[in-house]
Amino acid sequence: MNKTINQKAWYFVIPVFVLVAFNAAVPLMTVVNYSFQETFGNNVFTWEGTRWFKQILQSDRFHAALGRQAMFTSIILLIQIPLGIGIALTMPKKGWGVPVCLILMSMPLLIPWNVVGAMWNIFALPDIGFLGHTLNAIGFDYNFTQQPGDAWFTTILMDVWHWTSLVVLLSYAGLNSIQPAYYQAAEIDGASRWAIFRYIELPKMKKVLTLAILLRFMDSFMIYTEPFVLTGGGPGNTTAFLSIDLVKMALGQFDLGPAAAMSLIYFFIVLLLCWVFYSLMMRNEEKS
């Protein structure tokens, strides 16, 4: 049977094409445009070549922001992934506890980013906030607005509170899809609890965990609103992660060229790391 060839079908793609152009391609190209030129307004541009890229890549400020970002993302991944799996493992599999746990777990995910930031800001205030006040009352010298260590601690705690649920829900879904026969077989084979986790649960959760790690990596690497509301990047620049630094450069200092170059570099780093993560985690999948 011959396939009917009808190129008119392409017309159906036009709406999507227009939509994607407006929400992705056009803004991205504007950024590309800015990144190679200098402007002082009035739509007057002068060609700068790769100057902004070189400047950003060599700047200590960018290196420091990137370092803070890498540190932050690593810490929250190291906490949230094991913690999420752990919580998912202890959640009930049937009975009335299931909906209760699921609803409790979904709650933080439903709260808007800026509200989370504001909540934690008030919660952690050293004089009136419940957390801040309690910590000081029991003898810790805690003040997230002035001490970098405390600011980091609070930001990480906030992110763990907000996003661990995502890992929990994904892991829980993965765990629930395991056939009971696997546990029964393991019981008969005399497997220890650790062996069951290591050889049954973890491999069966691999796909959802890959997803969880990718999502958490991307989100945390691009985090903006919550730390902006909580610490505003301070004290000093100690919690100014990449996107906070980028906004400072673009809107605070109005250095549009360097900021555009930085956005592109930022974008490529995220893309590259996602690709690396994904290929690493899916490496064995393709072999078999």
Task: State both tokens at 72.
Answer: 């932050």
Give the count of residues interacting with other proteins (CB under 8 A): 19
Rounded CA gap, 120 and 163, in Å?
Answer: 14
Q: Is 177 in the site for other proteins (CB under 8 A)?
A: no
Stretch that binds other proteins, among 44-52, 106-114, 141-149, 199-207 (CB under 8 A): 199-207
Cβ 180 to other proteins, closest distance in Å? 9
List the one residue from 106, 114, 184, 253 that touches other proteins (CB under 8 A).
Answer: 184
> What are the angstrom distances between the C-alpha of 178 and each of 93, 170, 200, 235?
12, 13, 8, 47
Rounded CA gap, 31 and 254, in Å?
Answer: 14
Stretch that binds other proteins, among 3-11, 13-21, 113-121, 198-206 (CB under 8 A): 198-206
Q: Is 42 left (phi over 0), alpha (psi -120 to 50) or beta?
A: left
Buried residues in 127-152 as b, exposed as e (16+ CB within 10 A): eebebbbebeeeeeebbbbeeeebbb
List the one residue from 42, 190, 194, 283 that touches other proteins (CB under 8 A).
Answer: 190
Radius of gyration of the chain (CA): 24
Give the count of beta carbons closer than 10 Å to the beta carbon of residue 84. 25
List the one residue from 64, 125, 191, 211 that touches other proteins (CB under 8 A).
Answer: 191
Cβ 185 to other proteins, closest distance in Å? 4
Cβ 206 to other proteins, closest distance in Å? 9
Q: Is 179 in the site for other proteins (CB under 8 A)?
A: yes
Cβ 170 to other proteins, closest distance in Å? 19
Interacting residue ranges for other proteins, rule: CB under 8 A: 179, 181-182, 184-185, 187-192, 195, 199-200, 203-204, 284, 287-288
